[in-house]
Amino acid sequence: MSFSEFTPEDYTLIAREYAELKEAARKRCGGPDELDVVQKAFDFANEAHKNIRRRSGEPYIMHPIAVAKIVVNDIGLGYKSISAALLHDVVEDTDYTVEDIRNLFGDKIATLVDGLTKIKVVLDNEDKNKSVVSSQSMQAENFKRILLTLNDDVRVVLIKLADRLHNCRTIEYMPEHKRDKILSETMFIFIPLAHRLGLYGVKSEMENIWLKYKEPDAYNDINQQIGLNMMDKGAQIDEVIEPIKALMEKTGFEFQIKKRVKTPYSIWHKMQTKKVTFKEIYDLYAIRIIFTPHANNKEAEREDCFRILSIITNAFEYKPERIRDWVNKPKGNGYEALHCTIFSKQGVWIEVQIRTRRMDDIAEKGIAAHWMYKQSGFVGENDSVMDQWLEKVREILVSPDVNAVELLDIIHRDLITQEIVVFTPKGEQRTVPKGATALDFAYLIHSHIGDKAIAAKVNSKLVALSHILRSGDSVEILTAENEHPKREWLQFLQTRKARNQVMDYFKADRENTAAFGRKLLEDQLASLDYKLNEETLKAVMSHNEINSADELFFRIGLGIVKLGGMKDILADIDKPSRTWLSRFGFRRDKDSRKTDSYVIDKDDRKYVIATCCKPIPGDPVIGFKSPDGSITVHKKTCSVAESIASKHGDQVVIPQWESLGESNSFLVRISLRGVDRVGLLNDITRYISLVMNVNMRKLSLGTEQGIFEGFIDVYVTSREDLDKLVRKLSDIEGIQSVVRTDIE
């Protein structure tokens, strides 16, 4: 921030932006009195931030106005939240206090501002307030403060999401290391939180901004291809809408039809997870039917949604396996709709989404719309989903056994976990996380059943307790009175409740469990020619973010802390002599033939190439500085890097290791798929070896029913060389898909 007298143009800009906010607030406020409070909040904040500018040079008050716009337009909150958004930086950035706000605006608005101020203080001052004890978890403590506001008033989190979204919109004015920290925090916590609270618009915009700065080439390429695709098929989509519109007009419903294009981030994410190219994304487009049901109750909504589905599927060819019923079984974030995929006469597969206006409001504005309909008396059996999740989060937040880092990981896992529905033998419906086991289900039913479990019957078939459940399974737990929890259960249990129950059982025998864990660690260290001493213990504790040696031994004994990857954990302790491989100091670690882990000495800096994502020169990268000064380099989109940056943002640096010379090479994997033909393999290998002069390390290609699929591991010097190789391989006859994938 900086101080500079406002110009007439500045005042004109402020007046115009506030006029837009006021118009939006007018539609949301309950009357003139509420709108007067918003006006009063603006006048107060405008005066408090007078002549103060942001990094971008614009008047600072533009930020609170923008946050308030998101609060009313994208989230749908009322006048108290709009006012709090306008005032949210006043206490932190000026001489006014929370008591001043309370005297002028009342308790509720003051409480919201106080919650937002406390969040801002800890986030902004994390680097200044670190101590030896807190250095491991200062950033995690900050997020705990944010999440704790769920206990007081979830509107604080909603306004904070609006604040974060606007910060993302203006992130170009941030220095790169600060930008990477903010974007990593956003992806790790704020985006999943927006999704869990049902804020689809907020979530999607933050995802796209994340991709724009984390993978700018991919973002620009996808945007360009969307534009070209719209030019080619946009008219065809409009032609599909016309007959659907005619069908809807015959139903007598009041309705509107919207056209939706998949977002750049969702396309990129699908390309990464499904290992496909842009051309292989078949659900780029969707048509959304939003209608007003004949009666204002859940049963009428269901009947009308399925009536429209029947009309659409009778008129078009469709894929029965692609019908999604989130009307009878809403998603965990409250999302309700019917989806089907139809084939148009123009030869395009298009997803059709069927929603009532209430469902659309909840899909776009999430929890705020959920509250609004709940207060108006529109209550159904699924309306408690959001409330149940909030209650579960509150229980986690107040748990005395969970430190801040663990809490952040627990909340992150909970936010991204999908849920499935299973049934008891009596047909009672239960919701469990996707990936949950039969034993997790046993503990969900009752802790006594979990403790005494010996096996399960899933769909009348006998299975082990570690059996992973699938949606629709009927589950029966078999028990025996003389049974008790086993340590090995912790290897496969997925739910926190079940794991805590088993851990509580073994806490009674904590001393023996810790002794067992210590022995396991000593044996593992000995196998690598290390001893358990202060230095090695500190390295293992730091890696696992545990502050107590006894707690570390206990968790190892239980099997919660794994002892894999110890060579990497102890890398800073082990400093063996190494062979120089290039004039830039490029060298392999000990046993690098197995790990492909590299260390680079360049410009008096040691750069360690992360083995989790294996970046190569030209990839957008992020670095983390270790206490010894070395910098570990990850891809910016690496999930491990996102987690580290979210907890230890102060360690983020911008690596400068791109120019390593032509003599250095990096191992990457290229996955291929296409139509088999005689001589195809020979063409691929000849081109890689002879034309591109690229060394291959491993090749695995298989053919089934005329379709070939597989991968090739090759050494390249840079992202530019890799991209050229991918383009050239794509031109070979028969090859339909060539993508870079992770080496497992």
d(CA 529, CA 508): 34
Nearest to 606 by CA among 631, 641, 578, 624: 631
Residue 405 backbone class (left: φ over 0; alpha: ψ -120 to 50; beta: rest): alpha
* Cross-strand pairs, 419: 433
Active-site residue numbers?
92-93
Q: In a 3-state reduction of DSSP, which class is residue 318?
A: strand
Q: Within a 13 Å sphere around the CA of 310, how many CA atoms are in the beta-carbon half? A: 7
CA distances from 477 to 245, 276, 425, 445, 481 (A): 51, 40, 9, 10, 13
State how far Cα 121 lies from the chain centre.
25
d(CA 651, CA 177): 9
d(CA 635, CA 186): 16
CB 215, CB 265: distance < 8 Å: no
CB 396, CB 149: distance < 8 Å: no
d(CA 1, CA 6): 14
| C-alpha torsion sign, points 191, 195, 197, 198 | positive
d(CA 202, CA 204): 6
Q: Within a 13 Å sphere around the CA of 243, how many CA atoms are in the beta-carbon half? A: 16
CA distances from 744 to 485, 546, 668, 688 (A): 33, 28, 11, 22
d(CA 620, CA 626): 20
At residue 573, what are phi and psi to the nearest 5 degrees? -85, -45
Report the greatest alpha carbon distance in the chain. 83
CB 605, CB 631: distance < 8 Å: yes
d(CA 383, CA 98): 35
* Cross-strand pairs, 475: 458
Number of H helices, E strands in the chain: 30, 23
Query: Which two tokens mark 446?
Result: 């009752």
Q: Which residues contact 36 (CB under 8 A, 6 or more apart)?
A: none
Angle made by CA atoms 468, 191, 77, in degrees to the nearest 5: 120
Q: Which residues contact 652 (CB under 8 A, 6 or more apart)?
A: 177, 180, 181, 184, 622, 623, 624, 645
